[in-house]
Amino acid sequence: MKLLLSILLLTAMSAMAEIRFPSSSFTIQELAEAQKSAEAKGRPIAFVYTDKNTTCGLCAAATELIIDNLRMSAVLVYLSNKTDAPPQVAEGLEERGKFVPKVVVFDAALQKNLGLVTYEEIKTDGERPLRDLKSQMRKAKG
């Protein structure tokens, strides 16, 4: 019975880990389109570095929190590999944090890094780092 319960729990956790990005988001291969969208909307670009096929429920939950908090205030770009990112974005992601997900936000021209939030910060402080990031984004907008 314990084995059956454990298997059911693991199956449920794996199913929960599927991450779905909004249809309005972009992949890193669509970066030029994302920049045009960000310019048109007057929003920054949030590069969400994660594994959307993760089996880690905690990572998936942190990614969903990032998406939910930033989807209305930034253009989301999914990034599964830092080597595909522009150098300044890859450098911004290296600033701190060991684990995915991470999100780094840049202006639409990719000239100014507006902030970084890591998995470790979300794990420790919940939504607070994302609220602080949104505050930085508003200040940068003017």
99 exposure class (CB count in 10 Å sphere: 0-12, 13-18, 19+): middle
Number of domains in the chain: 1
- How confident is residue 4, by pLDDT bands cut at 50, 70 and 90? very low
pTM of the model: 0.88
Is residue 59 within 8 A of residue 120, CB to CB? The reply is: no
Which tens digits make up the pLDDT trace of 7-42?
444 445 544 557 999 999 999 999 999 999 999 999
Domain of residue 26, residue span: 2-141
- Residue 14 sits in a domain of what CATH number? 3.40.30.10
Give 79-93 pLDDT, tens digit per residue. Answer: 999 999 999 999 999
